[in-house]
A and B are shown apart, each in its own frame.
Chain A
């Protein structure tokens, strides 16, 4: 027997919103490209938490929330692999991964 959990859904939504905002700070304010990527991972996790919370509190009958979360995790893995390959290439060429020093295309 699994009635709805004793925490109201707002609890999960608040945690998700705060986690997303923390990730946004990382994306906006960190210099290191890898740290920017870490911020993106935090934001994706916050989105996943929302998907699963809505799945659970929507009754749990339809599985769209979890399927979407799995797709997000897959895309996050692919994105991390590609982004880190690009970071390695950038490091080879510029000897730095600080995003504010890689401004070759700035006019």
Chain B
């Protein structure tokens, strides 16, 4: 049953576009609300549906492990961390304070220009697509790739996390009294 639903969502001529449109709209709308909410707490909370929608797009693309990692690390870790920081720096979250600086118009113009250039370049290219009969065991092959040819990236990532953890503790502790 679940396998049938998953296959329909990944390759069905009707369900895949429908799911794609819903998830894309969810990601873009909640992304806009992240940027435009006056209250920083609402911004941080709107990040959650945006990240979940992107995880759903990963699922549609057949990257199940990556979707799970996205939910675990982003929704479970980073958003909670951001909420902690928002709570600890309270007083700046009240809606009376201006949420944007005076560069809002320039920010919109710059971002719209970038989007226009990228979309124009996208529309000029044909993007040939390689079709493959069977994706196979994606998670297993990802594990193989991480632990054989890309084991260096894997180990470097673990060192980065360790350094970041120690650094964050040292920085956030402040000066000893």
Which residues of A approach B to under 8 Å, CB–CB? 1-15, 17-32, 34-35, 37-39, 41-42, 45, 48-49, 52-53, 55-61, 63-64, 66-67, 69-71, 73-82, 84-89, 91-92, 96-100
Contact: B74 with A97, CB < 8 Å?
no
Instruction: Tell whether A41 pairs with B17 under 8 Å between CB atoms, given A18-B28, A77-B73.
Output: no
Residues of A within 8 A of B10 (CB): 2, 5
Contact of A15 among B27, B51, B135 (CB under 8 A): B27
- What are some 29 contacts across the A-B interface (CB < 8 A)? A5-B10, A6-B16, A9-B129, A10-B122, A11-B24, A13-B127, A14-B122, A20-B114, A24-B107, A29-B101, A29-B104, A30-B35, A32-B99, A34-B40, A34-B86, A38-B35, A52-B61, A59-B131, A61-B132, A66-B63, A69-B63, A71-B157, A73-B69, A74-B157, A82-B167, A82-B168, A82-B171, A85-B167, A85-B168
Contact: B88 with A29, CB < 8 Å?
no
Contact: A41 with B78, CB < 8 Å?
yes
- Does B118 make an interface contact (CB < 8 A)? yes
Q: How big is chain B's contact interface, by range?
A: 35 or more
Residues of B within 8 A of A61 (CB): 132
* 11 other A-B residue contacts (CB within 8 Å) besides A5-B10, A10-B127: A10-B122, A18-B28, A22-B28, A22-B35, A23-B31, A24-B111, A25-B107, A64-B145, A69-B63, A81-B168, A89-B171
Which residues of B approach A to under 8 Å, CB–CB? 7, 10-13, 16-17, 20, 24, 27-28, 31-32, 34-35, 40, 43-44, 47, 50-51, 54, 57-58, 60-63, 65-66, 69-70, 73-74, 77-78, 81-82, 84-86, 88-89, 92, 97-101, 103-104, 106-108, 110-112, 114-115, 118-119, 122-123, 127, 129-135, 138, 141-142, 144-146, 150, 153, 157, 160-161, 163-165, 167-169, 171-172, 174
Contact: B54 with A49, CB < 8 Å?
yes
Contact: B115 with A4, CB < 8 Å?
no
What is the bound-complex CA distance between A100 and B118, given in angstroms? Answer: 30
Residues of A within 8 A of B60 (CB): 5
Contact: B131 with A4, CB < 8 Å?
yes
